[in-house]
Amino acid sequence: MASVLSQPYFTDEQAAFDRLEQIVWPNGIVCPHCGTIGRAGALAGVKGKTGKPAIGRKKCYACRKQFTVKVGTVFESSHAPLHLWFQAAYLMCSSKKGISSNQLHRTLGVTLKTAWFMSHRLREAMAVLGMEPVGGAGKAVEVDETFIGQKRPRATGARGYAQKHAVVSLVERGGRVRSTHVNDVNAATLRPILQAQIKADSMLMTDDATYYRSIGREFKYHFTVEHGIGEYVRGGAHTNTIEGYFSIFKRGMNGVYQHCSSRHLKRYLAEFDFRYNERAILGISDSMRMEAALMGILGKRLTYRDSSASVASE
């Protein structure tokens, strides 16, 4: 069986443009300037600023403006060849615990700055906005929190987790996961998140923390386990699914990325959530996962200023 990486869009620029157009424009070319569908054509013989043929250039016959499939996406204004974007997307989507900017830099032969920027743009593409609440009648939704970050000297009287970034995640068993970076772990912070993202008739599964007991009253069913006394399963009640997700997330953050500022944590969460939601057990291959990520590039722009930070730790 031929290697997935032997596909022409990983090495040939024209093939990369052709494949991305198939993914982004399944129903015909859409002008990013005026929104007209199916009234644009390829511009033959047009050269770019370097004097080389401008690959993928189109012209809209409605508004008369020129564009490529990259306009209005996370790829817009990027000087990296599109076939390298395909390689980066595949590497990020096929690596269960992620791939560092340093590794992308070495593998793709781009600068570390470019690798950092590419990875953050792709994380932006993986972020899913406006999802419907999970759960529902007869469905179990597990909720738990974890803390990520490097240990630093604690202030007198401060709790250990106060020095790290708090993340609360919820997962519908057999379904999707959603993670949120929060400043504090208490009822006031968690209540609006759970109310907005979990249907009220779900079976809520948590540990026995006080704040979950308070929030749990607002759901039809709330089952808890007492981790403090070594109880991890009580009948069908447990949080093993979300803890399994946290295990992958923390191995990736601690072993691959090593450090992440609070400013960028939401993008890393989007990356790990995306890979979990497009996991192999659901019949999704690495190539399918990559294409799902590329479907999310539209309408998202990220400048270097928005994403810039130290890349030394990756």
Q: Encode pLDDT of 56-88 as tens digits.
A: 999 999 999 999 999 999 999 999 999 999 999
Q: In the predicted model, what is the mean pLDDT of residues 96-101? A: 94
- pLDDT confidence bin for 133, thresholds 50/70/90: very high
Domain count, the chain: 1
Q: Give domain status of residue 2, yes or no.
A: no
Q: Give domain status of residue 314, yes or no.
A: no
Q: Which of residues 250 and 131 earns the better pLDDT score? A: 250
% the chain with pLDDT above 70:
88
Rg over alpha carbons for the chain, rounded to the nearest Å, is: 22
Q: Give domain status of residue 177, yes or no.
A: yes
Q: Give domain status of residue 69, yes or no.
A: no
Q: Encode pLDDT of 16-39 as tens digits.
A: 999 999 999 999 999 999 999 999
Q: Give domain status of residue 258, yes or no.
A: yes
Mean pLDDT of the chain: 89
- Domain interval for residue 245: 140-152+159-277
Q: Give domain status of residue 292, yes or no.
A: no
Q: Give domain status of residue 76, yes or no.
A: no
What does pTM read for this prediction? Answer: 0.89
Task: Check whether 188 has a pLDDT greater than 80.
Answer: yes
Residue 255 belongs to domain with CATH number? 3.30.420.10
Task: Check whether 160 has a pLDDT greater than 90.
Answer: no
pLDDT for 174: 95
